[in-house]
Structure formats: C-alpha cells, structure tokens
Amino acid sequence: MSLEIMPVHGIGHVSEGDDLAAMIASAAPWLRDGDILVVTSKIVSKSEGRLVDVPADGPERLAARAEVLAAETARVVAARGATRIVQTHHGFVMAAAGIDASNVDKTRLVLLPVDPDASARALRAALRRRHGLDVAVIISDTMGRPWRNGLTDVALGVAGLNAVHDHRGEVDPYGNELELTQMAVVDELAAAGELVKGKCDQVPVAVVRGYPTTARADDGPGARALVRESSLDLFSLGTAEARAVGLADAAGLPDGTCPTPPDPAAIDRAIAAVRPAVAPGTVFTHVTDTTARDRLAGAVPGWPAAAASALILAAPPTPVDPFGLVRFGADVHRLRAALAAEGLPSALLPPPPGTPATAVLAL
C-alpha cells in the first residue's frame, strides 16, 4: 500500500454561504471514489459564517477578542501571561479555543465550526449527492501540544472513516498480543495533509489517495471519539492551576478518615516534610497499637469510628501563651496538608482531658 498526498489548488477565497463541495469538486476534477479529503477547518468555518466582527486593533480589539474567547470556552485548562489553553464546547483543548485571525480580514475572527463532525458529514453527503463522489472527509486544524515544540494538524471532524485504528488483540511475529495500541489515524492523515497545504498560499484542501484500512460506508463515529473525557485525563489542568487547586484544597480540608489503614511510611514522609516548617520541639506521636488507639478513642470526644490510627501532636514544651496555641494550631494544619499530599485524610480532634497544648489527628 502506497499513499499519495495531493494539494488542491485554486479554491480561492471562501465566504459565508459558499458551496464548498462545488468549489472542491471544481478545483479537483481528478478526485476519485475512495479518496480522503483533508479540509482546513477555516474554510468550513467561513462557509458556515462562523466569523465575528472585531475592531482592527487597540484595546477594543483585545476586549472584543476576550469576549469571543469566553463564549467559546467551556473551561480554562491553563493560563500563563496572555496565553489561554481552554477546552472548547466540543471538548477540544486548544490555545485560544481555536479562534484565528490569520487568513481573514483584519476586522474579523474565525471561530471553529459549531460541529465539525456534522460539517464533515454534510460535505461528504454533498460530494456524493451532487458530484457522484464517494470520499471520506476530515476537517483539520492546527494545535499545539504539551512537552513538544511546534504545532501539528489534527482532525476536528471526520466522516466516512474510523478515527482510530485499533490494533489491540493483533499478534506480532514474536507471539506477543498488542496492548494499548489504538492509532489515531485521522490525526495522522490530517498531519499528512498539512505537509502539502500552505499556511499562506491558499491550499486549504489536501487529498490522501490509497488509504483503505479504516474506510467505511457510513459516516462513522466522527472525531468526537478522539476527545478524552477530562476525568480520565492525567493532564486535565495546567501544572500551575492544579497546584493552586492543591493549595485551595488545603484551605478547605474536610475532616475524614482513611478508607484503609494508612501506610506508616506515608505518615513518616508527611511528618518529615512538615518538620522544617513547624515550631522546633513539636512532638509527633503515631498511635497504631490497637489497645493504645482504643484508649485514645475512648477519651477523645467525637472520635470517628472508622479511624484506624491516630497522630498526637504536642506543642513544644516551653511555656505556651495564647498565641503559641494559635501557632501550634497552624502547625497542626500544616501536617494535615502534608498528610493530604500523601493521599491521607485526617480529622482534627481535641486532646484527651489533662493534656493541654496537644491535638489529635484521627486517620
């Protein structure tokens, strides 16, 4: 199997209401059944009228752009300086929600198509019905990515092709069954298309010829299948944003207990981490012995039945004035945050009678 990747020249300017299928069929009379069209999302957006008027420059332009960005944003994923990485309403994670000011008048911004899979299906259907062509369609756009410099083109919408080629279950020549190998072939096809398209020379469509593997008669599930749900994503937030969530979580720490008996090594790590920050001489005692714990539980009001162990903290054995107790309380919360960093919930409880300047954390 060899592939050909061919540019479609001569499409020219695209305006709202233009018939993209006719423009492409006319510019590429050499199209054949089985070809895959890789169509830059911008001309789809333009033909669908996904444009907004903005001032050409000045603070008014920045304000208008910020408003447009907010409207296109489902949630902010990361921000630094003027950069905003956001998740769009489609679920794509992109800088500035894919809003683009290139290849358009200075007074307009181009938004992503409302539903790129639907756009791909509509273009495919129009080419079939009105031009007798049975092709697959990919709507592509340019995205950055974490960890690697430079941008690549990926698929926003697909019709007539599976987004993913699933190799799981195939057996290699050494007898190993493949795991985890689902190739995002439409992203690779979009990338291949980009190689013959230009950024400034008006080649908004590429044709991939000879790629049969995942062609399908129906439109298929679309590029939506490539959107990973953010709850399943290990990188659903920027590092700075996630760190701020951790600080906010430390501020709000609820009382809780560990679902399983806590790992003593994790408790030791938390104590070691916090020791440089707390008042010198603060004493940490980890109670794991069942008898000692039960005696403690009996003496401490509000002891949670589910707690498997406890930490007793004692303020430094110097004369403790009222503000010393306030500082000690802050140190107790420092330890609770360090425990939470180890994944360990805790509950703050008063000490048993007769042990002032002491606090109990049930775990």
The residue (of 106 and 129) whose beta carbon lies closer to a second copy is 106
* Residue 169 identity: G
Give the H/E segment covering residue 183. Answer: strand 182-183
Shortest Cβ distance from residue 209 to a second copy (Å)? Answer: 9
Residue 277 DSSP one-character state: G
The residue (of 284 and 328) whose beta carbon lies closer to a second copy is 328
The SS3 of residue 104 is coil
Which residue in 23, 16, 13 sits closest to 49, CA to CA?
Answer: 16
Shortest Cβ distance from residue 258 to a second copy (Å)? Answer: 15
Shortest Cβ distance from residue 303 to a second copy (Å)? Answer: 14
Query: How far apart, in whole angstroms, are the C-alpha atoms of residue 112 and residue 90?
Result: 9
Shortest Cβ distance from residue 228 to a second copy (Å)? Answer: 5
Shortest Cβ distance from residue 130 to a second copy (Å)? Answer: 26
Q: Torsions phi, psi of 138, nearest 5? A: -115, 130
Query: How far apart, in whole angstroms, are the C-alpha atoms of residue 154 and residue 325?
Result: 58
The residue (of 211 and 303) whose beta carbon lies closer to a second copy is 211
Structure tokens at 213: 């593997």
Query: How far apart, in whole angstroms, are the C-alpha atoms of residue 20 and residue 121?
Result: 13
The residue (of 264 and 343) whose beta carbon lies closer to a second copy is 343
Shortest Cβ distance from residue 201 to a second copy (Å)? Answer: 8
The residue (of 125 and 144) whose beta carbon lies closer to a second copy is 144
Shortest Cβ distance from residue 243 to a second copy (Å)? Answer: 4
Chain CA centroid to CA 191, Å: 21
Query: How far apart, in whole angstroms, are the C-alpha atoms of residue 344 and residue 348?
Result: 13
Give the H/E segment covering residue 270. Answer: helix 264-274
Residue 357 DSSP one-character state: S
The residue (of 17 and 276) whose beta carbon lies closer to a second copy is 276
Structure tokens at 265: 């090594």
The residue (of 44 and 349) whose beta carbon lies closer to a second copy is 349
Contact 163, 155 (CB under 8 A): yes
